[in-house]
């Protein structure tokens, strides 16, 4: 279902919903991804909206300072971060999460990220970057990751309540990002079961070729999964399974401290 169809369905269910506001949010989300500078035709294609509507919406963003234009191409400005300030500050993420992530990164020797579930994706809400270590520009605060091929997504899925996990899985697209991506439902179910048994998840080259990711769950006071800590590392010349077994306990200790701090 396209974003336009989803908006119409929501409006049919609840007449108090603003379709214009929903379209504006869809337009902002269209800037997510590797291409940050987009023309009106490109935005129209991404949002399934006509160009006239897109033009009005993006011009509104420009006038409010959330976007800027350069010869017919638009991109978001840092002003957009004001929209997430309430979420970040309301959870004291900078004060609580960053010191723990920084300590973990220095202990492990890799950049460490904290992600939370957002519908059918994981969104990174904090990141401790370690200079001179391996990193990807797709792992930054605000960036998103699919659930099935990534360790951070799988570990969140694995520890969701059974009904919620089944409902989420039913809405996930089966997409092969690399030749190593596992798309078989039965094998994925076993992978998630293994994640629950081990207490961590490893994805080896299934989202980005040549890159492995390791993730552990973060639980709240009720033992509900609230997010995940993750690291990424190149697989060339490295034994991903050995690295996971060696680093997972240290990441789990940080995840436990983080879960307690966020209560």
Give the closest residue to 10 by CA, choosing from 20, 160, 73, 113. Answer: 20
Give the closest residue to 60 by CA, choosing from 31, 28, 32. Answer: 28
Tell me which residue has tokens 């950049």.
111
Residues of the chain within CATH 3.30.450.40 domain(s) are: 91-261
Give SS3 for 173.
coil
Tell me which residue has tokens 């391996």.
134
Fold of 91-261: Beta-Lactamase (3.30.450)
pLDDT of residue 34: 62
pLDDT of residue 8: 60
Tens of pLDDT, residues 179-205: 999 999 999 999 999 999 999 999 999
Q: What is the C-alpha to C-alpha distance for residues 31 and 21, in angstroms, rounded to an integer?
A: 16
Tens of pLDDT, residues 66-110: 898 888 899 888 788 777 766 666 656 667 788 899 999 999 888
Fold of 3-77: Arc Repressor Mutant, subunit A (1.10.10)
Residues of the chain within CATH 1.10.10.10 domain(s) are: 3-77
pLDDT of residue 103: 92
Residue 239 is given by DSSP the state: -
Query: Could you tell me which residues come within 8 angstroms of residue 116 by beta carbon, excluding any fewer than 6 positions away?
Result: 122, 123, 125, 226, 227, 228
């Amino acid at each position: 279902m396209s974003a336009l169809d989803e908006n119409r369905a929501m409006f049919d269910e609840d007449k108090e919903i603003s379709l214009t506001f929903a379209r504006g949010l869809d337009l902002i989300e269209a800037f997510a991804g590797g291409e940050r500078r987009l023309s009106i035709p490109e935005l129209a294609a991404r949002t399934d909206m006509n160009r006239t509507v897109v033009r009005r919406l993006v011009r509104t963003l420009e006038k409010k300072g959330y976007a800027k234009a350069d010869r017919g191409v638009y991109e978001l400005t840092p002003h957009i971060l004001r929209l997430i300030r309430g979420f970040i500050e309301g959870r004291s993420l900078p004060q609580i999460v960053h010191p723990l992530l920084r300590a973990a990164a220095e202990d492990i020797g890799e950049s460490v990220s904290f992600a939370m579930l957002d519908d059918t994706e994981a969104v990174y809400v904090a990141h401790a970057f370690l200079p001179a270590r391996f990193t990807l520009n797709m792992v930054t605060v605000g960036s998103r990751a699919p659930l099935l091929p990534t360790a951070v997504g799988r570990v969140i899925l694995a520890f969701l309540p059974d009904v919620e996990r089944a409902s989420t899985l039913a809405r996930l697209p089966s997409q092969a990002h690399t030749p190593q991506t596992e798309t078989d439902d039965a094998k994925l179910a076993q992978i998630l079961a293994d994640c629950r048994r081990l207490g961590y998840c490893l994805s080896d080259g299934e989202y980005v070729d040549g890159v492995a990711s390791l993730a552990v769950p973060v639980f709240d006071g009720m033992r509900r999964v609230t997010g995940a800590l993750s690291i990424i590392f190149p697989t060339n010349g490295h034994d991903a399974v050995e690295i996971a077994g060696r680093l997972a306990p240290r990441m789990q200790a940080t995840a436990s401290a983080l879960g307690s701090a966020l209560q």
